[in-house]
A and B are shown apart, each in its own frame.
Chain A
């Protein structure tokens, strides 16, 4: 994907996007740019449109009007499968296929892409090390793994094809606080070894502050504030942002 069309430092651009589900308007003219090679946290309460925004990036949801560009390229309507394989995706609860082993889950798409066995194995081992999982999880089924292990594998699966962009939909929220801390450390380590543009949807400001370099606060489908997390948290620019910060950080 080339970055010639727009500013070279923009990974994802929403241009005047409108989206509704039935009579419920989620976005009315959303315009937003997300920086390249950085982690952006999309923060907001439930129903603010965070997940819909994320899913418009890989075409799981389509804007009614307006356009979404990823690295300067419009999200296609045809050949979405190929496009999506260039985008990592991990969700809350990991969403591993219950009938496949840990390794089969992580390497499924690489297998479909026709990767040779040794390359697949090497990449898998590398990812396991990066997220701090022991090699013996490889042959286990998801139900034989802890929530934290499943979530780590979910991230491994998202990273398997070395995508230039990674979408994370609250992947750290369904585990206990200590496991979550471990996941943060794993994530940071992974990012050091394979840097990529990351879009993280979360309702947790501490998480955003710890992991993200850029933060967007969404309220009812509107961007109420964006910028570096430290900046945003120190100077909330709206009553909503203030309330959000107050509820979590004071």
Chain B
């Protein structure tokens, strides 16, 4: 049994070392984005504009929401990301009405952040319905929804935001029940007529594709969401001037067109951004890009190679977290299994960790650990603890009492009793716990992409933001296969190292 454990530790150590080596990152400029298409696109434009001016850019795209991006910028984990005035004033700063950029920047001072000049368009929230249904029911304004029997489903963020559903329902007197839905899935759900009313961004390329109608906000409920680059207040003059060309670069219809290229034509962000920059190089203040060079190479990089990278990263994430959970979880179990109360307390704590929603846990960790590899590892570690600790404690504490008595009568001390009796008999249960933990963390690690830790979650997050099923599967299938392989491998290892009984 000890041989097997050693083997396992060695294997996990190796993945840990690998992880340490590849997590070296060039910190020249780190550009972040949220996990929806337009944010990717704007961030990619900013990144390429910077690259065209000689910057080394690291992309931390697809971060899981406003809070994660904002905290990551505040903590210096990223240097900039595209943000919207309305999001800042409503969801972060609690400013009423439609404040100006100057007013927003005043409020941002406390966090040491600054919003650079705006890109030139307003991407506000919109309430949308299917064209056909709008025509049939005569829906034109949001107020027309009053008293209808339609199925309302809004994105989770919209449901919670102050400028989202609660205020909207109040302003327009809407009392229909609502459900939550992932934004990227909402269009499909609309198309399938599974839902009838949802929130959208007014610049979404999908609005045309799915024939959706924006209902007029005649009471002027939604604040303005003017896009601009959010940076740290102490950003260098050099960086500011490098980004100056983004000022007024796009209007609403141009953004819709760019978004549609990605969402409807299935072009890569990098390609769409490169074409846009190429067509507007003078206005953006960059040299004309040589088409067909680096940019197209990036977008056409063989996806298998990319996938292999995600796969290895996924292994590193789960392997390192699992190694930590095994060493710390087993040590704690060995320390406390004889003390019933302490053991119960430990199992309770691990169970508590399991109940914290994974995105919430990741967000909670940013102020302390930032974003990227480390907090992802810690979150996965916390999720892996429960099966390991619970199985180990249960198995160690419930050794056949007759055998325990015999071992004492033979003159075995506590350590010898553990070494020669309890531990060997508990090995199958301990391994089963490790196996469960491994499978759980392989699944959970897909969420690590939300805090920029990479892994197989990355194609899933990008795919979700693009409503691109192929891309989602490109992450989901390898993750599932990995989980199955690990399950089988651990099963075999378990049979090898378990004592015969």
Contacts and interface: CB of A to CB of B under 8 A. Distances in A.
A146 B420 CA distance: 23
A82 interface: yes
Interface residues of A, number: 24
B406 A95 contact: yes
Interface stretch (A12-20, A28-36, A83-91, A229-237): A83-91
Contacts of B500: 98-99, 141
Interface string A98-109: 111000000011
B416 interface: yes
Interface string B16-60: 000000000000000000000000000000000000000000000
Interface residues of B, number: 19
Given A99-B424, A99-B499, A112 B406 contact: no
Contacts of B409: 58, 60, 84, 87, 89, 167
B501 A91 contact: no
A143 interface: yes
Given A91-B402, A93-B402, A108-B420, A99 B501 contact: yes
Interface string B379-414: 000000000000000000000001101111111110
A238 B405 CA distance: 34
Interface in A57-102: 58, 60, 80-85, 87, 89, 91, 93, 95, 97-100
Contacts of A123: none
B425 interface: yes
Given A81-B411, A84-B408, A84-B409, A112 B416 contact: yes
Interface in B407-451: 407-413, 416, 420-421, 424-425
Contacts of A167: 409
Nearest to B409: A89
A157 interface: yes
A81 B403 contact: no
Interface string B282-321: 0000000000000000000000000000000000000000
A167 B402 CA distance: 15
Nearest to B419: A112
A5 to B, nearest CB: 23
Interface in A184-239: none
A57 to B, nearest CB: 10
B410 A91 contact: no
B499 to A, nearest CB: 3
Interface of A: 58, 60, 80-85, 87, 89, 91, 93, 95, 97-100, 108-109, 112, 141, 143, 157, 167
Given A82-B411, A83-B411, 7 more contacts: A95-B402, A95-B403, A95-B406, A97-B407, A97-B421, A99-B424, A99-B501
12 contacts: A60-B408, A85-B410, A91-B402, A95-B402, A95-B403, A95-B405, A98-B501, A99-B424, A99-B499, A99-B501, A108-B410, A109-B410
Closest 3 pairs between A and B when the two form their complex, measured CB to CB: A99-B499, A85-B411, A89-B409
